[in-house]
Structure 1
């Protein structure tokens, strides 16, 4: 069988070149050719995109840094506010202890006075009965018995005068009533101890209808009378015995001391401070100081006037003479028209604590009653001589 000859499927064409002159076809490029100008434009576009991303990242970082700084400032302010409130709570607790101690002391004094009056009254009754008996029988010792009865009557009168408040002591009672009326009215406003606040506020407000004005007036008096040491201001004259049943009875002082003791035991001042702090507006000033609310500022002015009043009395009576004038000047100058800050609030709390620790009120009480003690000693000596 003859060998097979390959058969071409393509018909022969006279146009085909010879086999030795054929060239391989050039490969077809898969990407379109681009000029050098196009390459530069693409590179610039990529570079612009990278710069845009970098700027965006930088702006985000800057915004985060600003927010972080603002949060840190706010955190610092809140921390300072928290520290100030804790300091006020600590000072108020110490003041509570001091108030309780003073109330117990005053109660004991009143009890002692009451026992003294009762004893003197019994002795006087016995002496008067004996004198009447002598007079009835016409005894020769009539004159001597009469003198003895007169001494006993003077003793009773002095003991009774101890239960009557001087004008200055009554002024202190009025200011303490104002203190109680002010804080119980704030309790009513902020819903603190709601079960008793309304009745307490009504009671103390009836005795001190304008508490803030009364305290501020006392502070102004301290400012104007800084060098006033007139003995007439102290009213060391004997008390009118008709006042024993009036408002100047020592029971008025005892009543306000009990009221202050209740205020401290219920921690009213601390609760009011926390309630007022909630209404505090954030300060726009970056001074490190926290501006107080209107009520807090009024409370600071209230306490500054209170401190000025007591240091004025201390100076006039020679109590704590080494520091009295300095403290008085400080609180007078400290009372300015500028808005009160958290530092001012801490200062007044420290001032009130110092007043308690030094026992200024107790010392003033003793000074106002020195003439009674002197008269009592003179009476004892006279009785001994008799």
Structure 2
């Protein structure tokens, strides 16, 4: 518990946990920018990827020594926005993400001079709904998740505010307890994945929403992605460990966070099944768990060879020892890629092959 508390405190500012090899040359190979020079790797973004990024940082620090890097937990959207804001020392070398970069974000990068971005998928994770171990076990469908947490539900020819108070009112057989869910804010990739994989897919099961998707897809997305603001859904910040702690103190609540945090807190919380499937390494990697997603890091190719230790850090992240099957990141809850896909990612990292523009 003491270690977890210290780790959380570090994420609020910057974790200086990754030793890197110094490079020779002018200014010791430092990245220069309007705010001066920087001689350390800087990664920022997803709270879900944060434990993996820091674990790699710790390992590289032990094996190389030198100046430490910093890793920040800002949420996927916040990390990519900062990454794409410009070049030089004032902006991160790496954005960590729990979803793929969007076309709009890629366009913002290009406009700010951030070109030649290397996209590396590092593994899989699942979105879980969990509650305290002593509480009833939930078994929900995506339609039930949508009906419980959507801000508005179809009524007649329009929509009405969602006033459903208890889970048992959503569907017979669910616990007779207040609907209360703690989850990540809109800047989080976990939030993006949750509304796309759970809320949107659940809405498609409702006839009126399915018809709306055919007639007006933009409105369908807006209605299915908007979560309740009446206290049934609570934005709990970017710190998934804090949500786990909240579930211990608020036993009737559910929490929404990444599988890696469930894996590391099995003594405190348990996961709901979704469509009858429980989240696990096997069900997430084979795609049978409905709320599975991919995790990424994005690297500025122009900074490799300029920021001391950036290449070492990137290569370490995608290595067999870290992200491969049985690698040390599996102990933190990362689900490894299939071997063939992992080999492709390693080759991309070695060649620093830039990504193409996302489709959307």
Higher helix share: 1
* Higher share of residues assigned strand: 2
TM-score by length of 1: 0.23
Larger radius of gyration: 1
After TM superposition, the score normalised by the length of structure 2 is 0.24
Instruction: Considering Cα pairs closer than 8 Å and 6+ residues apart, tell me whether 1 or 2 has the greater RCO.
Output: 2
